[in-house]
Amino acid sequence: MPEFARFTDLVRSLPATVPFVGPETQEHERGRPFRARLGANESAFGPSPAVVEAMTNAAPEAWKYGDARNIELRTALARHLGTEADTIMPGEGVDGLLGLLVRMIVEPGTPVVTSKGAYPTFDYHVAGFGGRFVRVDYRDDREDPEALSRAVRESGAPLVYFSNPDNPMGSWWDAETVTAFARGLPDMTMLLLDEAYGEMAPPGTLPPVEALIDRPNVVRMRTFSKAYGLAGMRIGYAFGAKETIAAFDKVRNHFGMTKLSQIAAVEALKDQAHLDTVLGEIETARRRISDIARQNGLTPLPSATNFVAIDCGRDGDYARAVLGELVARDVFVRMPSVAPLDRCIRVSAAPEAELAVFEAELPAALSAAAAVSRPA
């Protein structure tokens, strides 16, 4: 059957794609479940029991739309961050908020600066609105703020993406460097500062809220999907200058946040003791993953996230073979998409039972990968 004739030229030019093929899709295609779910950077340590209780109690009211203005959630986030409610905009995860900000700035042909191998969902949104990519290389497995800044000035880009801590490498910059990068950008360039992994980073990684809240060209984004264990509820939030945040009301899905998601996020913020427990579990898991890597002659990279990037010691073809052999052994992991980052696989923090499966299967996966992928 021919394609509908009235799709825009832009839509007809794009491939049908998904930035990440989820584990459920892979399980369906494979015909069996994974034994270790270590690829999506979720929190298998789960949400706070208080959050589960609150959602359970509220379930009979799921027939109601959520508050279109997110008043209770914005108020709770403002109290948590030490700012005002009108500097905050909740949304359907960072992914949904990325799409809204891109929509506000990018038109066909608009230059957008980002790093090669950075978060693919941001690229997906930029491509969907016809943006033109201006990419810079990572430097020493980290985002390169100097190169990003230079690319902005050379291209005149009105939008630049920067993640801190970084996905897929787990690397990070200190708050002073990030603040200087933000303040050094042209006033007409919006910085999208993705801090999805911020709760897991060392002290001094995230700039204080007040350091950048006065800048209309900075939007910071965080999520409840990682440390708070609510990936399935799709809850993120953007914060920045009031005038900038107000612009989201022009394009957002006002009823996109469900009632249960709003309740879950508010309760999660209340239970910081549970968050501290999860952060301890993540740190333990990072050490465990690193130990497993070293036991097998691989090099774990330092991480400020809930995953560890493991250098497989060769090129991307070999790392892809290792990943494929792990998947064949029912261990779901992912890897960066471009060289030289793709010499690594990426393993999410998880409870010990799943990491034990990874530990048991990795030696055979490495042996099988070596047999089919000879070094150059």
pLDDT digits (tens, 9 = 90+) for 283-294: 999 999 999 999
Alpha-carbon dihedral angle through residues 353, 355, 357, 362, given to the nearest 10 degrees: -170
- Side chain identity, residue 206: L
Q: Hey, is 237 helix, strand or coil?
A: strand
The CA-CA-CA angle for residues 57, 258, 263, to 5°, reads 40
Please enumerate, as own/partner, the contacts of 25-29 that have beta carbons within 8 Å and a separation of 24 or more. 26/327, 26/332
Residue 210: name the closest of 220, 202, 223, 198 by CA.
220
Task: Give all strands (DSSP E) within 266-375, no chain letters.
Answer: 299-300, 307-311, 331-332, 344-348
Question: What pLDDT, on the 0 to 100 scale, is given for residue 167?
Answer: 96
Quote the CA–CA distance of 26 and 115 in Å, as a whole number.
28
Residue 58 and residue 261: Cα distance in Å, rounded? 10
The DSSP 8-state label assigned to residue 139 in this structure reads B
pLDDT at 12: 85
Tokens of 354: 């799943």
DSSP single-letter state for residue 219: E
For residue range 143-173, list pLDDT tens digits in order: 999 999 999 999 999 999 999 999 999 999 9
Query: Cis omega (within 30 of 0) on the bond before 300?
Result: no
Q: What is the pLDDT of residue 374?
A: 64
Which pair of structure tokens corresponds to residue 342? 């793709």
- Give me the domains of the chain, ranges plus CATH numbers: 9-46+273-372 (3.90.1150.10), 49-271 (3.40.640.10)
| DSSP-derived pairing of the beta strands 159-163 and 190-194 | parallel
Q: Where are the alpha helices (DSSP H) in 156-190?
A: 175-183
For residue 78, the SS3 value is helix
**CA 227, 229, 234, 237 torsion: positive or negative?**
negative
The parts of the chain modelled with pLDDT lower than 70 are: 1-3, 373-376
Alpha-carbon gap, residue 30 to 87, rounded angstroms: 45
pLDDT of residue 13: 87
Q: What is the pLDDT of residue 308?
A: 98
